[in-house]
Amino acid sequence: MTSFPSIAVIGAGPAGLMLAERLSAAGLRVDIYDRMPSVARKFLMAGRGGLNLTHSEPLAAFVGRYGARAAALKPVIEAFPPKALRDWADGLGAETFVGTSGRVFPRALKASPLLRNWLARLEASNSGMGVRFHLRHDWRGWDDGALLFDHQGERVRVQADVTVLALGGASWPRLGSDGGWTGILADKGVAIAPLRPANMGFRVPWSEVIRDKFAGEPLKNVALTFDGRTRKGELMLTRDGIEGGLVYAFTAALRDAIERRGSATLTLDLKPELSEAQIQNKLSRGAKTDSLSNRLRKTLSLSPAQIAVLREGGREIMPVQIPSLIKAVPLTLTGAQGLERAISSAGGVAFDAVTPDYQLKALNSVYAIGEMLDWEAPTGGYLLQACFSQAVWTAEAILQKSGLKNLA
């Protein structure tokens, strides 16, 4: 490799942009290619909900959120941890703060100001060369060693010393990531795990009461339990089932269970702060002339939506059963939402198909980073953090091989 290799980054999402920033700052020429007419479209969509960049919890707990990939991602996250990501955002004028849930957001609560300043930095990087963007370039693989793109009806061939693939997964395909790269890499001998939805809702066979009257209603301050794990938070009722941050914490386990057995049953605690005995005591103080719904509302402050879900879990409720049912409403999930509605995706380039620096073992000087690798995490800042950390990790590896690490 020459001292100043040319770098082609395919994919203008957070991972691709962060890697380009690190490399261009060290003096490397970086060209970014993307099939869409503008950059970071999914990043901007995430920003509409506040742009949850990362999380403030202790690092050991943070790393544990990556489940089966926790050990593989641990050194990567530690090399560019949440504190480093917050410092980077602050440096772009997007000062961050920690919300009551521990999640970290920019004070603007949107992505556009951060992205605008970030792109300005990339286009006028301190290398004097900057980062060049090539939009509407649809990557089609290789042709005799050259990268091949479709661009406005023409074929474009590009020579690069190093190629970094940051093509995303397959969730929200209308924003640019549709998983179309899987066949290209599989044909080159790269092991690919099937792409599956992650951080998505699940289907519940609700009655018409839930579908027609309570779809879109939140259930706040509740707890879910599945497979021995319990988490507290908030979920949303939909016409088809349930979704929301609390549900997303269980998506991998629920999805896998449904794939094995055809369904999965979890329990919903409508009053996690109370014991069964406390619930019984409160109910006993209610007016005997009140209907069951009014007693639940007045003595336990259950919302109409919570009461409706309680009835779903026990269609013929006996008074003696109410406290135990409130603590463990059974919900049977019959399926998961598809990739087109999932927040992220699992599957992709297998971890054993890349080196510790994320270079593809089957393709020399070709790297893969971000969501296109086979890892997943719940929402809460873990998805973006891992993408940023992988980008920094791989950039450092490329600089090391180029002999430019000390200049970064």
Q: What's 264-314 look like in SS3?
A: EEEEEECCCCCCHHHHHHHHHCCCCCCCHHHHHHHHHCCCHHHHHHHHHHC
Pick from 234, 306, 312, 299: which is nearest to 270 by CA? 306
Rounded to whole angstroms, the Cα distance separating 187 from 408 reads: 35
Rounded to whole angstroms, the Cα distance separating 131 from 8 reads: 10
H/E element, 1: none
Q: Which domains does the chain have, with CATH numbers?
A: 6-198+343-407 (3.50.50.60), 202-336 (no CATH)
Cβ-in-10-Å burial (0-12, 13-18, 19+) of 63 comes to buried
Rounded to whole angstroms, the Cα distance separating 36 from 69 reads: 30
Query: Angle at CA 34, nearest 5°, toward 125 and 12?
Result: 50
What is the pLDDT tens value at each position of the chain, 408 positions in all?
Answer: 445 789 999 999 999 999 999 999 998 989 999 999 999 999 998 877 789 999 999 999 999 999 999 999 999 999 999 999 999 999 999 999 999 999 999 999 999 999 999 999 998 755 455 799 999 999 999 999 999 999 999 999 999 999 999 999 998 888 888 899 999 999 999 999 999 999 999 999 999 999 999 999 999 999 999 999 999 999 999 999 999 999 999 999 999 999 999 999 999 999 999 999 999 999 998 888 888 899 999 999 999 999 999 998 766 666 678 999 999 999 999 999 999 889 999 999 999 999 999 999 999 999 999 999 999 999 999 999 999 999 999 999 999 998 876 444
Which SS3 state, helix, strand or coil, does residue 356 take? coil
